[in-house]
Amino acid sequence: MLETRVIPCLLLKGDSLVKTVNFKKPSYIGDPINTARIFNELEVDELTVLDIEATNTRSKPNFKVLAELANECFMPLAYGGGVRSFEDAKKIFQIGIEKVIINSYMYEKPEFITELANHFGNQAIVASLDIKKNFFGKYELYSHAGKKKQKKDIISWVQELEKLGAGEILLTAIHQEGTWKGFDVDLVRKISEAVNIPVIANGGAGSIEHIEKVVKQANASAVTLGSMIVYQSKGMGVLINFPDQKKLQNVLNS
């Protein structure tokens, strides 16, 4: 068992899986249920699924696909996308998903985090931050799948989310996402130092060395992998896979 969680992150659009680069140009990857079966065989410990269009189309979560995934998966599941009510969250948990990820709606109604945490437990609520570095090197906060800029101080906001009851932070660097260039280590370090809850680094992983770096240099509690687990390698075709567990153990448990 790895001390640091290494989590495949799948992007859902409609009934299909896609992969983006910098939150743009989604490319078709495959069927989510077949992909989940492969991760079962690979003995993955945890899985994250994000619906990238539910919020902007004001759609409900795709409960049909989520129920099929929960039924198929042997590992714990976390889901985010289009969750705007207590009933949405309740239905997701009833399906058998262990964690709900909240992003855009928490800007409209921050107390929604508290409402969910009080009922389902802090450990089940993940606050998701999408951050992009602008042309001048300044970090800016976005919601609605990277389409809406939020005028909040990032450090103050992440600390507020912890106080509101979020049990974890899913931190996505939009400028790194899908690039294979590595995580934004400086950004992850700043957020990790600002809160006492786990920070999950997302966006940019291209090698086991990138995983090691963000964990050891930025104190990431976990990492998610996108391109690395759906492609053979950069520029190559689709191949659902997972890094060699022994290699991960060697670099993360040393």
Reported as half-sphere exposure (CB side, CA atoms, 13 A), residue 181 has a value of 11
Three-class DSSP labels, the chain: CCCCEEEEEEEEECCEEEEEECCEEEEEEECHHHHHHHHHHCCCCCEEEEECCCCCCCCCCCHHHHHHHHHHCCCCEEEECCCCCHHHHHHHHHHCCCEEEECCHHHHCCHHHHHHHHHHCHHHEEEEEEEEECCCCCEEEEECCCCEEECCCHHHHHHHHHHHCCCEEEEEECCCCCCCCCCCHHHHHHHHHHCCCCEEEECCCCCHHHHHHHHHHHCCCEEEECHHHHECCCCCCECCCCCCHHHHHHHHCC
Catalytic residue status for 130: yes
Reported as half-sphere exposure (CB side, CA atoms, 13 A), residue 144 has a value of 9
Question: Residue 23 — left, alpha, or beta (φ > 0 → left; ψ -120 to 50 → alpha)?
Answer: left
Q: Which of 15, 51, 130, 153 is flagged as catalytic?
A: 130
Give the active site residues: 130
